[in-house]
Amino acid sequence: MPRYTPEHRFQARLPASRCRPNQRPTRFLLNDFNNSSTIRKRTMRDIEGKVAFITGAASGMGLGMTKAFTRAGMKVMMADIDATRLQAAAADLKAKGADVDTLRCDITIEDSVFAAAAATVKRFGTVNVLCNNAGVSVGGLSEELSQKDWDWVVAVNQTAIVYAMRAFLPLMKANGESGHVMSTASMAGLVNAGAGWGAYNASKHAAVAMMEVLYSELKDTPIGVSVLCPGAVNTNILEAATHRPDHFGKSDDRPIALNPLGETLQQGLDPDVVGELVLDAIRENQFYIFTDPRMERQIERLFDRIKLGFAWARKNEHLIAANQAELVWKAK
């Protein structure tokens, strides 16, 4: 079965029957990278001894990834803002023979991320896998959240990925080895998570988009790309505000979004299982990593709504075509 790549999301043709005279059918796709040679080139089958850098590694999915990676023989630099929990998690892993080290890192600060990249190379000699996993959320209606609420969520869920790509990708390319970049988004990065999730939803959509673009940018390299879009997972994301940096102010979560979620997360997937899924996706160069097949229906509903938008556009195609013809005439 062909693998689903981000380019498929944008594949569409305007049928010849709907084209204006002398207009060729248009395919809205820059490149098709879904071929076996590209997949083979970007697949990390041999991961033993490879080095990974994981944010949010003290607990939840980041810790689950660390466990899965080290069981497979990888070395891991564990990064987190919660130094106490980070040290405890690392001590437990080291007692089981894992080759890990720790680094307190505030991923909302550019210098902190670049320092983490340098420290990883100094400790392990290289870096092959980058996992942008840390994430936060603040609940409340879009107009009720403070600017600092928005800034914090965007800084952790989106801007931190930018810092990490700039800090780690040059190092990963320079070592000439196979590698992989994985960013944790959410199903909320693809569909509407509902009222009170504006900041989280927007930042996770950005994470998905950045990984789709990165997939294209790295097509001629041995570095694969994945984006993790989990459903409910039993993590402590609702405790993230405990370690919210002072320069982002204090959180004032509104109950509209967060209270019902706590119970849902407690019944969610074991983060250790997510770690194994991520490891498997890296080995197979699987772009979208989903954890709940039942969520497929939500994606189908999304595309149903998108198709309604195109149906509306076709209803007004005479206006669109007339305007395009006028623009062509003016260009002459």
Contact 269, 230 (CB under 8 A): yes
The answer to whether the CB of 224 falls within 8 A of the CB of 181 is yes
List the single range of 142-151, 153-162, 289-298, 321-330 with lowest mean pLDDT: 321-330
Q: Judge whether 62 lies within some domain.
A: yes
Could you count the other beta carbons within 10 Å of the beta carbon of residue 202?
17
191 & 96 share domain: yes
The answer as to whether 26 is a domain residue is no
Structure token digits, residue 161: 């990925």
**pLDDT at 66 exceeding the cut of 70:** yes
Examine the domain organization and report whether 153 and 100 are in the same domain: yes
- pLDDT attached to residue 321: 77
Contact 134, 80 (CB under 8 A): yes
**CB under 8 Å to 265, separation ≥6 — which residues?**
232, 233, 234, 235, 237, 238
pLDDT of residue 233: 84
* Amino acid 245: pLDDT: 81
Residues 64, 162, single domain; the answer is: yes
Would you say how long the chain is, in residues?
Answer: 332
Mean pLDDT, rounded, for 144-148: 92
Percent of the chain with pLDDT over 90: 63
Question: Is it the case that residue 180 has pLDDT exceeding 60?
Answer: yes
pLDDT higher than threshold 60 for residue 36: no
Distance of alpha carbon 26 from alpha carbon 225, whole angstroms: 28
pLDDT of residue 34: 52
Helices and strands, counts by H and E, the chain: 11, 7
- pLDDT above 80 (res 237): no
Residues 254 and 252: their CA atoms lie apart, in Å, by 6
> Is 301 within 8 Å of 294 (Cβ atoms)?
no
- Active-site residue, 200 included: yes
- DSSP secondary structure letters along 312-329: HHHHTHHHHHHHHHHHHH
Beta bridge partners of 131: 54, 182
Using the predicted structure, report yes or no on whether residue 251 has a pLDDT greater than 70: no
Q: Which of 42-56, 103-117, 150-164, 206-220 has the lowest mean pLDDT?
A: 42-56
Is the confidence at residue 238, as pLDDT, over 80?
A: no
From 145, 7, 110, 122, select the one nearest 53 (Cα to Cα).
Answer: 122
208 and 324 housed in the same domain = no
Beta bridge partners of 75: 51
Q: Which domain holds residue 195?
A: 35-291
Number of structural domains the chain divides into: 2
CATH number of the CATH domain containing 132:
3.40.50.720
Please list the alpha-helical segments (H only) found in 72-109: 83-95
* Phi, psi torsion values for 104, nearest 5 degrees: -75, 125
Is residue 3 a part of any domain in this protein?
no
Q: Please check whether residues 183 and 331 belong to one and the same domain.
A: no
| Residue closest to 257 by CA, chosen among 230, 234, 238 | 238
- Tens-place pLDDT, residues 81-126: 999 999 999 999 999 999 999 999 999 999 999 999 999 999 999 9
Per-residue confidence (pLDDT) for residue 1, from 0 to 100? 41
| pLDDT of residue 325 exceeding 80 | no
Overall average pLDDT of the 53-74 stretch: 97
Q: Which amino acid is at 98?
A: A
Q: Which residue has the tokens 């340098």?
A: 118
Least confident of 66-75, 180-189, 219-228, 250-259: 250-259
Give the active site residue among 4, 163, 200, 215: 200
The structure's pTM equals 0.82
Question: Could you tell me if 61 and 268 are in contact, meaning their C-beta atoms sit under 8 angstroms apart?
Answer: no
Q: Do 67 and 48 belong together in one domain?
A: yes
Residues 279 and 312 in one domain: no
Half-sphere exposure at residue 67, Cβ-oriented, CA atoms within 13 angstroms: 17
Q: Are residues 111 and 165 in the same domain?
A: yes
Query: DSSP character for 125?
Result: S
3-state DSSP assignment of residue 226: strand
Check whether residue 320 and residue 278 sit in a common domain.
no
Burial (CB count within 10 angstroms: exposed 0-12, middle 13-18, buried 19+), residue 40 = exposed
248 in a structural domain: yes
Spatial separation of the C-alpha atoms in residues 151 and 146, rounded to whole Å: 9
Q: Give the per-residue pLDDT at 267.
A: 62
Query: Is the pLDDT confidence value at 327 over 60?
Result: no
Say if residue 309 is in the same domain as residue 209. Answer: no
pLDDT in tens, 267-321: 678 999 999 999 999 999 999 999 999 989 999 999 999 999 999 998 888 887 7
The verdict on residue 307 lying in a domain is: yes
Q: What is the distance between the alpha carbons of residues 34 and 38, in angstroms, rounded to a whole number? A: 7
Residues 6+ apart with CB under 8 A from 276: 64, 68
| Separation between Cα atoms, residue 138 and residue 289, nearest integer Å | 24
For the chain, percent of residues with pLDDT exceeding 70: 77
Asked if residue 70 is part of any domain, the answer here is: yes
Asked if 95 and 171 sit in the same domain, the reply is yes
> Are residues 319 and 263 both part of a single domain?
no
Instruction: Classify residue 24: in a domain, yes or no.
Output: no
Average pLDDT, the chain: 84
